[in-house]
Amino acid sequence: MKIENYTIGSDYPPFIIAEMSGNHNQSLSRALKIVDAVADSGAQAIKLQTYKPETITIKSSNTEFTIDDPNSLWNKKNLFSLFESACTPYEWHKPIIDRAKEKGLICFSSPFDENAVDFLEELNVPAYKIASFENNHYPLIEKVASTGKPIIISTGMATLEELKEIFKILENSKSKDLIFLKCTSTYPASANNTNIITIPELKKIFKCEIGISDHTLGIGTSVAAVALGATVIEKHFTLDRSDGGVDSAFSMEPDEFKMLVSESHNAWLSLGKVFIGPTKNEKKSVKFRRSIYAIKDIEKGELFSEDNIAVIRPANGIHPRHFKGMIGKKSIKKIKYGTPILDIY
């Protein structure tokens, strides 16, 4: 499948998405600097989030509208206030998208409601992403599917039954290009709770491209995901974690993101193909393997023993598989010290 001019699949390097989220810290200037830094990192795409706080939740002081989790980055935060501080103003979208195009980046977004889809269609975004917390919002998924554009969906918290229902929605829509991203919706996520071994299983079940939306710290999980068949990687991006921001604690800085791009590409290259035997580049090293050599002068008729022959480098003699069979047999000729054994006895 393709998003704009980039082909996504196992025969191509991983498609790397930098998630801006709320790391602009309500500064358009900072948002544009993030775009520039993402382009410099070598990533293929940058992703926004498109919503207004009132389309996600309501203003309420009731306890269920406040996060009550001492382990959460947003403990004691009111939901409406949190989304208000994290949202990307609608009027910023066009300048951000324009800057991304100037820098050669694919730019798309996660809409959080149906009106956001209409807005993004006016900007002609090339694809859509459904966030984990919205993957049970079937009316939204149906709206996105009606555009006929590629859809990326994070699987965080979703049951297999829900994923099958989502898949069916897309099967019956204009949008045929689907990517599921294995996701653990904790922030940050721990490696031991990420279960990326699920990636090949998802691929087997849905026969579509599978990637990872990675909220762990560092690049290890993403690189390992590529080895398991992930063709897309999404990670949060910030200029500097010390600047703060709603998602900064689990976001990657520019140099870290460059490493992610480089090492995930290396992981993809290293997959290669099923092959047993010396590779083309190894063939010049074959001569330095082991073979059987005379390690003493050997007279004609003398018995071979571990005292006068050995398995050593280089490989100009016969294969070491013949060593045991030679012990106790007579040499048919005189052999000088340091001479490869060429005859099989």
CATH (domain of 181): 3.20.20.70
Beta carbons within 10 angstroms of residue 12's beta carbon: 12
Cβ atoms within 10 A of the Cβ of 236, count?
A: 25
Q: Report the number of distinct structural domains present in the chain.
A: 2
- Evaluate whether 108 touches 129 at the Cβ level (below 8 Å): yes
Domain stop point among 244, 271, 298: 271
Grouping H, G, I as helix, E, B as strand and the rest as coil, residue 166 is helix
Query: What are 54-107's pLDDT values in tens digits?
Result: 999 999 999 999 999 998 898 989 999 999 989 999 999 999 999 999 999 999
CB atoms closer than 10 angstroms to residue 227: 14
Q: Are strands 151-154 and 128-130 parallel, antiparallel or unpaired?
A: parallel
Whole-structure pTM value: 0.91
Range of the domain at 209: 2-52+87-271
Residue 26 is predicted with a pLDDT of 96
What pLDDT does 345 receive? 78
Contact 15, 211 (CB under 8 A): yes
Interval 249-273 mean pLDDT: 97
Contacts of 320 by beta carbon, 8 Å cutoff, 6+ apart: 290, 291, 292, 311
Q: Which of 240, 271, 302 is the last residue of a domain?
A: 271
Q: Are 34 and 238 in contact (CB under 8 A)?
A: yes
Q: Identify which of 146, 157, 153 has the alpha carbon closest to the alpha carbon of residue 232.
A: 153
Q: Quick one: 197 and 305 in the same domain?
A: no
225 and 305 assigned to the same domain: no
| The pLDDT value given to residue 182 | 98
CA distance 297 to 308: 7
Judge contact between 15 and 212, C-beta under 8 A.
no
Does any domain span residue 73?
no
Q: Do 262 and 296 share a domain, yes or no?
A: no
Residue 71 located in a structural domain: no
Residue 185 CB-half CA count within 13 A:
12
Picking from 271, 47, 280, the residue whose alpha carbon sits closest to that of residue 151 is 47
312 and 221 in a common domain: no
Does 76 reside within a domain?
no
Residue 342 belongs to a domain with what CATH number?
Answer: 3.90.1210.10
> Token pair of 39, please?
């382009």
Last residue of a domain, one of 216, 245, 271: 271
Average pLDDT estimate for 187-206 = 96
